[in-house]
Amino acid sequence: MDSGVASSIAQHLKQQQSQIIRAWIDSVRDDPQIKSSRTLSEPELADHLPRLFDDLIDYLQNSGDEDSTKIVTLEARKHGNQRWRQGYQLTELLREIANIRRLIMVEGLSPIFRLRPEYSAHQDDGRDLIDQFFGNVTAGSVDEYVENFAIRLNESARFLAEANDRLREIDRSRLFLIRGIAHDLGNFVNALNWAVEGFDSTINEASRIRLLDVLRRNLEDTGSLVRQLSDYSILLAGELHLEMEEISLPLFSKEILDTFGPIAEASGLTLQVTHQPDLQSIRSESAFAYRAGSDTYVCPAGEPMRPRRCHPSKLTWEYVTAKGRCLVCHLHPFCTRSQSGRTIHRHRDQILLDRAKRQANSRAARADRKRRQHLMERSFADAANRHGLKRARWRGLWKQAIQDLLIATVQNLRKLLKELFRGSLQLWLRLVHRLLLLLSLGPNQSLITFLPLACLGNC
């Protein structure tokens, strides 16, 4: 391509860069096939585009030589690796690249040839160079993505082989444990039967004591077996989390009363167990796990919740389970009272909101709130209650700093006036009150021009 034409195209792309980037962000946000973009902020989503424009301009001016191609491929691999770490699917990555290529063609290349008809002979060369550029971008990004996928696949294969080895060891241990369970439980059942029959037929106290000793020894062996089973259950569970189990409160209360009631009566006590029939809590959203890779939530029953619709006014997406799943779930009373099922709302910038919540609950934030309570809260109350600043509209750190300094200044003036002019305290307090009214008028009101008027109005 002619160098003059390439320079004109490069200059036009520079002029339209911000407009194209803005249009690309909107198109990606609105594309239902690029769900992973919703978890990213705008800087995270578009931080690679300025470098892409620079590489494209350099590629056009050098007519796609070998050095420019190497640079483009290297940057594309970096972008592919970044999108991999951000949880993108390969199809989402390809749709992103296709969107920016389309916008550059429509907003960048076509207008320059319309405005400069003398460049029409170079139009095919320009389109061919841009196609070559985005071909290199696609190849580099996909190569890096596939390499990362292969690495993860190899790691998964290794973990699978290790898991199979552990499973074979667990199977051998399970066989030995089953034999021990059968033997020890058989002994315990036999000893229990002997004890029951012996108590019915034996009158001799010494024989009863011997039967109780045998029963006690077998009970200890069974208790040891139960502890082994508990350890073995942890081994079998691995990284699985505990699951919630629904219980019947009336039945549970009756079992407690039947078990411990006789013991309480033998001690001269009366055991009473009560429960609230309507005791039922709804699980919060923290009980639902979010999976960024698939853009789904997983409910406590293990059912996936997929996005159903977007609420533009609230900037949130609504997630629901498949139709009818909630109504037949045994955890339905604990998740929602709605007959249509449980819904979860996720903000477009939920990652930033979660980060803000963590910061607000951090030790440093709690220390800042304590410091504010100690230093400024009483001053705010003094200005609001005594000087009419309940409706002050000062927003922003620098404006708030001005308000804080003025409040402190007036408080110091009050202390000085109280000592210097004890006889005319009410007059000076009215003057101070007029001075503080400046705060409610906004930062544009002149303190120097208003103060003499306040003095004349009170003197």
**Which domains are delineated in the chain?**
3-159 (1.10.490), 285-360 (no CATH), 376-458 (no CATH)
The Cα 325–Cα 327 span in angstroms is 6
The Cα 53–Cα 127 span in angstroms is 15
| pLDDT value of residue 395 | 74
Handedness of CA 358, 359, 364, 369 (dihedral sign): negative
| Whole-number Cα distances in Å, 237 to 166, 234, 242, 243 | 12, 5, 9, 11
How many CA atoms does the CB half-sphere of 59 hold within 13 Å?
28
Tens of pLDDT, residues 368-377:
888 888 777 8
The Cα 318–Cα 199 span in angstroms is 66
Residues 6+ apart with CB under 8 A from 86: 36, 39, 40, 44
| pLDDT value of residue 455 | 38
The Cα 234–Cα 121 span in angstroms is 74
Tokens in use for 325? 């799943």
The Cα 338–Cα 34 span in angstroms is 31
Q: Which residues of the chain have pLDDT under 70?
A: 1-2, 119, 174-204, 207-208, 211, 215, 219, 223, 225-248, 275-281, 392-393, 419-459
**Which amino acid is residue 52, in one-letter code?**
L
User: Terminal CA-to-CA distance of the chain, rounded, Å?
Assistant: 83
| pLDDT value of residue 56 | 83
